[in-house]
Chains A and B, each alone.
Chain A
Amino acid sequence: MRMAKILEVREENPRIKTLILELGMKAVPGQFAMVWVPGMNEKPFSLSGCVEGKAWVTVAKVGAFSERLHQMKAGEQVGIRGPFGNGFKMKGEKVAVVGGGCGSAPLGFLVDELRKAGKKVDFVVGAKTKGELFFVERARNAGAEVVVCTDDGSDGRKGFTTDALAELLGKEKLDCVYTCGPEMMMKKVVGICGEKGVECQASLERFMKCGFGVCGQCAIDGMLVCRDGPVFDGKKIAKMKEFGSLRRDACGKEMRS
């Protein structure tokens, strides 16, 4: 466990903040870290950036722990274990990145790295409403073509990211599609890419404890999300029976969705 000072807190939108930590580590987009608040808890968060001795985590306020992270100020410390897991693998030249809700956290980092490597990137990003979008400017500044989708039409096009992706794939041949977001969205993305024969990679979430493959809590179809993932190949995901249907809670009890 390493303690890292918070250098800056950025408010991405009312529900989402990015903590920029003073922490040198080598990580690729899609890898995650366990973030510890001493005396409280420790939970997994994707790295939303990792450059020049700084690591970023972008946190949606959904419960007690994430709320505590939202209260933290520059100068305070959090503990970090990681980076853990396998990140996104760069494939081909023309790619699309599809993010929904707070799933865009690792994707801002991914778009940056893809652009640095000279790839042509379409970033399809969706949210319920305009105020819940984030990393749109970041992706534009990185040089990605951004397609915004909102459920209520308050920004960009009204409708789902998956429809925008299908349209894109109808127009041009892409080498790879990267996705992170609500599981049902990712399931559709995997399905669409499967039909079109386009390679796809998705970052999955399950309840995690150890983060490095011993406790087994984050298993999905016998794969450990922390160690075998969190980024999996679309073909592998398509075979997972639990994807989109079953997860385990902190007790290990199965919950169907």
Chain B
Amino acid sequence: MVELGVELAGVRLSKPLILASGIVGVSAATLKRAAKGGAGAVTMKSIGPEPRSGHPNPTVLEWECGLVNAVGLSNPGMEEGAKDLAAAVKMVKAPVIGSFFAKDVAGFGDVAAKLAEAKPAMLEANLSCPNTMRESGVPFAYEPEHAAEAVKAVKGRVSGIPLIAKLSPNTHLLKEVAKAVEAAGADVINMGNTLGPGMIINLEARKPVLANKAGGVSGPAIRPIAVRCVWDVYEAVKIPVIGTGGVCSGRDALEMMMAGATAVGIGSAVAGGGFKVFGKISKEMEEWMGKNGFSSAKELIGIAHR
């Protein structure tokens, strides 16, 4: 038997696969279904201080190698969001991660404090959404100081719940950002959010298709970049890393772990595989590990660096 269980900042995951934020996770019941489908932990959609309806449609498009999305962080606001999160914590057996964002440092502290009342297993600061730049300036995760300030604001308000800092591949200062959030007290790094933004133009309409014109690129197209980012972050920090970006199969997940990920985020793959995709991926991981003489997933973490 191979053991897939891992530990992230003291939280045990029965499988090293995490439902990524913004993917089907608008309600407790969908998160429960993802856990039943085999996710070791589930992340709720990012919650902000105020309700937002997000961008008009089209907001999510499929293309040959993945997705582009500009959902625009639609969410019911932190009062409702905390209720939804509490319901999820109650209903879902797997650890539930409460994701959140804000447009300023103080806001990060406020939303984190509100969501902490729901007692999620972990909190995840989304420092990296590329879709709302026009309103909130450059994402926090692009600059070491900005990222660190947001993490400090959260740490100043919430204790006792591990904090994940979700970073962006869209910075030339990635290692510096990773070190800065570690120094500011982040317990885990999620590497990371979508790449880009990108754009798709319809020839016949002669127009960008996303209503926001540009949107974050995810899915298989970004996997080699996500793997490299995980590699860099693993070298830069001691805290554990969640590798997210383009993982669709057991081999993809194992690659992320070899690059240094303790657990793997799964987003776009749910489009093709549905809720069952987690079970499929873990089965493929087990098969490969069995054939190749690994008894525990922990042995794989960062193995490509050695």
The chain A residues found within 8 Å of chain B, CB to CB, are: 1-3, 34, 36, 38-43, 77, 79, 81, 209-217, 219, 221-222, 224, 227, 248-254
Contacts and interface: CB of A to CB of B under 8 A. Distances in A.
B93 interface: no
Given A212-B271, A227-B274, A251 B51 contact: yes
Contact of B270 (A34, A43, A209, A214): A214
B58 A39 contact: no
A77 B26 CA distance: 33
B76 A224 contact: no
Contacts of A214: 23-24, 60, 67, 69, 267-268, 270-271
Contacts of A2: 204
Contacts of B80: 253-254
Nearest to B57: A42
Contacts of A221: 29
A81 B62 CA distance: 10
Given A79-B205, A215-B22, A252-B84, 8 more contacts: A1-B200, A77-B205, A209-B59, A209-B74, A215-B24, A222-B27, A251-B54, A253-B51
B297 interface: no
B129 interface: no
Nearest to B33: A222
Nearest to A228: B274
Contact of B24 (A34, A36, A38, A213): A213
B99 interface: no
A257 to B, nearest CB: 17
Contacts of A43: 57
B29 to A, nearest CB: 3
Interface of B: 22-27, 29-30, 32-33, 45, 51-54, 56-62, 67, 69, 71, 74-77, 80, 84, 200, 202, 204-205, 207, 209, 211, 267-268, 270-271, 274
Nearest to B273: A213
Contacts of B53: 249-251
Contact of A34 (B45, B58, B200): B58
Contacts of B51: 251, 253
Contacts of A254: 76, 80
Nearest to B50: A251
Contacts of B77: 251, 253
A96 B238 CA distance: 65
A213 B56 contact: no
A210 B25 CA distance: 13
Contacts of B29: 219, 221-222
A85 to B, nearest CB: 13
A36 B56 CA distance: 11
A253 B77 CA distance: 8
B209 to A, nearest CB: 5
Contacts of A79: 202, 205, 209
30 contacts: A1-B61, A1-B200, A3-B204, A39-B207, A41-B56, A42-B211, A79-B209, A81-B61, A209-B54, A209-B74, A210-B60, A210-B69, A212-B62, A214-B60, A215-B23, A215-B60, A216-B23, A216-B24, A216-B27, A216-B30, A217-B26, A219-B26, A222-B29, A222-B32, A224-B30, A248-B76, A251-B51, A251-B76, A252-B26, A253-B51
